[in-house]
Amino acid sequence: MNRLEALFTRKKERVLNVYCTAGYPQLNSTVRVMKALQENGADLIEVGMPYSDPLADGPVIQASGSKALENGMSIDVLFQQLKNFRKEIYVPVILMGYMNPVLQFGFEKFCQYCADAPVDGLILPDLPEHEFESEYGAIIRRYGLNFIFLVTPETSEERTKKLDSLSTGFLYAVSSSSITGSDKDFLPVEAYLDKLRKLQLKNPVLVGFGIKDKHTFDTACKHANGAIIGSAYIKALENTANLGGATKSFLDSILK
């Protein structure tokens, strides 16, 4: 049983996945931030690999990615930082990023490095389903990595079921067809999540985009297995020298 399966076997509800940007706020913050998240209640950590053209990311995560790139972050540097991270980090870790830099690095080499680290899975929002099925999925499976697809309120029932069948670990339910970090009314989201629940999908469902505080986390958790927080946490790390303290304060405000 891999770490993601073990997590969702042990914990069926209120699973908290927190997104952080590799190399932010400082180049060497990555593992320190992950450790702070683990120590303060994150069940799962999603590490964003910064990219110059991040299609799904809102202004806060884009700015953190730009800063990380300025700091010197790259996929090579990230894997150097993750070399011995399992001595300290035991929660599941997934890498989130975009195909262009992964292809430049070399897709199979990337998966090999992920397995060696080891990280537990990948989110690559711009990897098309047909390319996953025809080419990349086999490589991902060869290296024992989970792959998580995203669905939105506009994804048809048939396609949602298909993406669920291709995903392993969990299914990422985007709360609306907008960028990360945007403010929105949560009532339509609740109706959408109830619709997803009625489909009886094989994977646990985590909700992302717009989850920013205790209210939105609690609301999402009423309708799904858990939720993903990104922009709000990145904001909490702005202009602080105390990563541990800022992380504790932020996660306490969500979980307590």
Catalytic residues: 46, 57
Q: Which residue has the tokens 């790259």?
A: 74
Q: Could you write out the DSSP letters of every residue in 189-245?
A: HHHHHHHHHHT--SS-EEEESS--SHHHHHHHHHHSSEEEE-HHHHHHHTT-S-HHH
d(CA 228, CA 205): 10
d(CA 114, CA 128): 20
Tokens of 41: 């209640």
> CB 157: neighbour CB atoms within 10 A?
11
